[in-house]
Amino acid sequence: MSSHTKSYQFLSENLVKQGFDLQKVKAVLKTQAIETPSWAFANSGTRFGTFPWPGAAVTTRHKLDDAAMVHKMTGIAPSVAVHIPWDVPEDGDYNGMRQYAGSQGIRIGAVNSNVFQDYGYKLGSIAHPDAKVQKKAVDHMLECCEIMTKVNSTILSLWFADGTNYAGQDNLRTRKQRIELNLQEVYKHLPKGSRALIEYKFFEPAFYSTDIPDWGTAYMLAKKLGDQAQVLIDLGHHPLGTNIEQIVAFLLDEGKMGGFHFNDHRYADDDLMVGSVNPFGLFLIYDAIVSAQQSGEHPASETANNIAYMIDQSHNIEGKVGPMIHSVLNCQEAFAKALLVPRDKLHDAQMAGDVLGAHRILVNASKRDVEPLLAQVREEMGVPLDPIAAYFQSGYEEKVSKERVYKKSGSGYQ
């Protein structure tokens, strides 16, 4: 018996005694799906600089290959988000792109529009004072809706860099109205059965006002648009100290929790690997989700079952595929721990007003060593027990560093 099997047996006996249905927990873990971002595989960095990584993706196909590698190692990263125009296929063939992704064992996930890089967007996109610029931005998002149909995507991911730098620069109320009207136009063109996820960010690139600065604004917009619009939470887009799990709980209860952009941060939106700074915070987010899933309440439960879990990171100094695998594993660990929170016990302690008891139940669940369980899940899924080690032993990193020739190409943050 291997040492991981022994540790798993020990853990499972313990968990079964505590009343957990381990077959169910494993089944749920096997269906976990984390979407990787195409742009993280390219040579992207910060606005101050980019340090080329040997073998970083140069073409869109490279990015798909890298995303497929993350899935091959983990078994739980079956889709990749694309960003338009960074990921316009070299031959312009989106059907070919979808097929190529399929041939590599993954699918295209969210389509992210980009209305922040063209010079025309200096004063904003859909909140810009000039109607012609607003139309250009709307047209781009409509094109993204068409791309969604071609690549079989059900998510349009919307983030706007719109804002102002100086008091008096523009009328803030009018900007809000422009955003509402233009989003209504985009909403009308969403493919059937798809969703638009509205992402907020409390600052940057504008520093006086940001047009969609917080979850409340994104929620209001999504609510006014209708059922096909929800909120996207990028973990890096909050002031320090924000209670993100509370936002998650609120949005779940309102049926408006649509998706995540996972990452971590120390100061601002610095796109570090998710769970690298605050693994407890990541656990608490998963706890809010699992609590809603298991509540059976409407609409929290269905909403929690339909969340798009996406990573939005930009790796500047730590490699590309390796850190992405690590990020996916951090999400897997947090989810496993959240699935093993003794919910009935926690509920009883909460209802009895046992503050310390309830707190300890949750914290103890976050401290549980779930590695033996995850190793067992991986073995049953037929993926490497140690995905990071397997990746570095696979020779992929050496192979792509020989094959791929870095050139500054204007995609991602290059």
Name the binder of 230 from Mn ion, ligand PSV, none, CB < 5-8 A by kind: none
| Per-residue binder mask for ligand PSV (CB under 6 A), 198-227, x = binder | -x-x--------------------------
Q: How far is the CB of 153 from ligand PSV (least distance, A)?
A: 15
- CA-CA distance, 57 to 46, in Å (whole number)? 17
In angstroms, the Cα distances linking 84 to 29, 39, 170, 192, 412 are 31, 10, 28, 20, 10
Rounded (10°) angle between helices 279-295 and 244-253 = 20
Q: CB-wise, 265 or 337, nearer to ligand PSV?
A: 265
Q: Using CB under 6 A, which of 121, 159, 200, 262 touches ligand PSV?
A: 159
264 lines the binding site for Mn ion (CB under 5 A): no
Question: Which class for 92: exposed (0-12), middle (13-18), buried (19 or more C-beta within 10 A)?
Answer: exposed
Residue 349 is which amino acid? A
Q: Which residues are within 8 A (CB) of 51 and not within 5 positions of it... i.e. 6 or more apart?
A: 43, 45, 316, 317
| Per-residue binder mask for Mn ion (CB under 5 A), 303-342, x = binder | ---------x------------------------------
72 lines the binding site for Mn ion (CB under 5 A): no
Q: CB-wise, 199 or 264, nearer to ligand PSV?
A: 199
Q: CB-wise, 112 or 125, nearer to ligand PSV?
A: 112
269 lines the binding site for ligand PSV (CB under 6 A): yes
261 lines the binding site for ligand PSV (CB under 6 A): yes
Q: How far is the CB of 342 from ligand PSV (least distance, A)?
A: 35
162 lines the binding site for ligand PSV (CB under 6 A): no
Q: CB-wise, 79 or 376, nearer to ligand PSV?
A: 79
Q: How far from the centroid of its chain's Cα atoms is residue 209's Cα?
A: 25
Query: What is the DSSP code string of 21-83?
Result: -HHHHHHHHHT---EEEGGGGBS--BTTB----TT-B-SHHHHHHHHHHHHHHHS---EEEEE
Q: CB-wise, 187 or 200, nearer to ligand PSV?
A: 200
Q: How far is the CB of 317 from ligand PSV (least distance, A)?
A: 18
Name the binder of 112 from Mn ion, ligand PSV, none, CB < 5-8 A by kind: ligand PSV
234 lines the binding site for ligand PSV (CB under 6 A): yes
Looking at beta carbons, which pairs linking 410-413 to residues 24 or more positions away fall under 8 Å?
411/39, 411/42, 411/86, 411/87, 412/39, 412/42, 412/43, 412/44, 412/83, 412/86, 412/314, 413/39, 413/44, 413/45, 413/46, 413/47, 413/50, 413/314
Q: How far is the CB of 195 from ligand PSV (least distance, A)?
A: 16
Per rule CB under 6 A, count of chain residues that contact ligand PSV: 8
Residues, the chain, total? 414
Q: Using CB under 6 A, which of 312, 361, 397, 400 touches ligand PSV?
A: 312
Q: Is the dihedral of CA 375, 377, 378, 379 positive or negative?
A: positive
234 lines the binding site for Mn ion (CB under 5 A): yes
Point out which residues bind Mn ion (CB under 5 A). 234, 261, 312
Point out which residues bind ligand PSV (CB under 6 A). 112, 159, 199, 201, 234, 261, 269, 312
